[in-house]
Every structure is written in C-alpha cells, then in structure tokens.
Amino acid sequence: MKVLIVKLSAFGDIIHALPALDDVLSRPEVDEVHWLVDTRFAFAAEVLPTQVKVHHIALKGEHPLREIRRVVKKLKAEKFDLAMDFQGLIKSSVLARLICSKVYGFDAKVIREKPASWFEMSTPAHPDEINIVQQVRRVAQSPWLTAQDMDTPIGYRPPQVHRQFDVPLPQGLDERKPWVVFNLGGSFATKELPDATWLQVGKHVQAKGYHIVFCWGNAKEEGKAKQLNEQGLGFVLPKRLSTPELCVFFQQSFAVIAADTGVLHLAAALGTPTVSFWGPTPRERNAPHGKLDYHVESNPDCGPCIQKTCDNFICMDMIQAKEIVQCIENIEQKVGT
C-alpha cells in the first residue's frame, strides 16, 4: 500500500504529526509513505525518517497555480492507494483530493476549516482526544479503525525524532558547564514573554551555575537576544541554526525555555527537558506532555484566545519568573543534576 500524507506547515505542527507518522509506518500493509510539505517549511521535514519520501510545493511562489498543477500531475502519477490530510485546511484537503480519490481527514467538529471536510472522509473523534497529537493520530489510524475502536480514545504519545545527525555544535559555545537555552521567539507577539521576565529568569538560572544560550530564528529575535545579553547573561548563537544543528544542540542542552513554537516542540521530541509558558494558546491541546516537559500557565479570564494581537494584553505579564525557575528545579530533581 502506498500512502500520501499532506502536512504543509508549520514547524511545530509537523513535530506534532510525528506520532501519527509512526502509526502509519508501523502498519504491515503500508509499503511506501510520501509527505507533501510547503517549501517554506522544508527545513522541518528534515527530521522525518529517511524512508519517507518528501515532496515540496511552493504555494507562496510567483506562480502558485502553475506550481499546483505541476505537483498534482507529479504525485497523481505515483498512484497512491490513499491520502491523509494532517493539516485540516481547505488548501490541504483540496490538494490531497486532487492527487488521490480516497482522502482521510479530521472530524468536522475539530477540523480547523470546516469546508475542508467536504473533500475528505472524516472519522469521528473521541471527546477525550484533546491534544492535537491524539487528533492527528486518529486521522492516521482511521483507514483501519473498527466500530469498536470508535469508543476508545487514542492515547497521547510524545513526538520523537528518530534520526541522528552528525554536525558540530555551534562555534563559541562554552561546553565547560551545562547550558539552558532561552528561545525568545513566539511566532506571534502575544506569545512573547516580557524582557523583564526573561532577565529575572536569566539571573536566577545563571546563579544556579548554568550557562545561558540565546537561540533565535530571525533578525528581530537576534536583536532582542543581544539586547538582553548586554546584562552579561550568557551567549547569543552566532547564526540561525539549521534543523540538524538544532537537533544536536538541543540533545546536549540541559533544558530549553520557550513559548508555544516549533523550537519548543522539536526540543521535546528530542527528549530534552522543556519549560514552556502558555497564555493565548491552549496548553492542554498544544503542549508537549513528556515526562520532562513542564508548563507555566497564566490562565486569564479572557484566554486562551488564540489571537495574534490583543488590546488587553495581560496573559504574558501574568507569567512569573519564579514559576519558570521552579520548573528548572523540578527538572534538576528528576534528572538528578
């Protein structure tokens, strides 16, 4: 059996889909798995197992319609037995349906864009499947579920990166003592922790004997990291790391502190302890829930709102530095450091 997975973006969402991919790869009747990803997020697909054949589509390129025709023609020739839409958007469902006549997707009750369900076969989700990992696993298992299976929730399984990368650690990194990674990005403004809170956390973490390394993904985050580091907290990475470099770097880090971003989910999938803070996005649905993943929630009356902008921005101000530091201490106790 030949299967196509359509998961175009984004970084964290691709990590969330790894347990579902494992489900598909473990099926004895599945011989070949392909994955369609947006070219802008091809870097995230580097963590996929090597037996998965990855295809790119440039939906934001100069000629998107021409690109769609090219990709659809190419992938239709593969003659897939079935396709799975792990995205839940109109564009992903239409692409999957144009390529393959049999497409499985999310329950219409949880799908992100409801018209997407018009092009797919939806399997009813169990009400206890709250985390996005569980919901994607439901799609992955839907071709083989029996009526009896419908009454049993599919469990949460922490995403795991199975690949190993042989690349050096970033230049300039002080390896004489353990380091804690501060990832300042938030993918949108309402996820970003105030600078004052980062500074408080940094001083406490530094006092505990850790080296602090600022990780960044764009020029704005780099500038913020350099500004915070004027307080002498630690080390700003000299460049944006590639996905293989991030994997090696995180695997040797003591912990990663980050918002709900792809960096957070990648670190958790590598087995690195994480501390994440939650305001506009729902922890129960989005957070990694491994044994070494810790969360700090603001829980404002108005949240989680999932808004990218806010006229009453209070949720990140409610996150206390002492709560984040306490999570670091909890990790120390669990790993015996």
Domain borders along the chain are 2-151, 179-335
Strands (E), the chain: 2-6, 32-38, 53-57, 82-85, 103-105, 121-122, 179-183, 211-215, 234-236, 255-258, 274-278, 293-297
**3-class DSSP state of 304:** coil
Predicted confidence at residue 81, as pLDDT, reads: 98
Predicted confidence at residue 332, as pLDDT, reads: 96
Q: 274 near 256, Cβ under 8 Å? A: yes
Q: 126 near 156, Cβ under 8 Å? A: no
Predicted confidence at residue 300, as pLDDT, reads: 85
Taking the C-alpha atoms of residue 228 and residue 274, their distance in angstroms, rounded to an integer, is 21
**Shortest CA distance to 16 belongs to which of 216, 130, 160?**
160
Taking the C-alpha atoms of residue 95 and residue 104, their distance in angstroms, rounded to an integer, is 12
Predicted confidence at residue 286, as pLDDT, reads: 96
Predicted confidence at residue 337, as pLDDT, reads: 53
Same fold, 2-151 and 179-335: yes
CATH T-level fold of 2-151:
Rossmann fold (3.40.50)
Give the number of other Cβ atoms within 10 Å of residue 7's Cβ.
Answer: 26
**Shortest CA distance to 285 belongs to which of 133, 108, 124, 158?**
133
Residues of the chain where predicted confidence (pLDDT) is lower than 50: none
CATH T-level fold of 179-335:
Rossmann fold (3.40.50)
Q: Amino acid identity of 289?
A: H
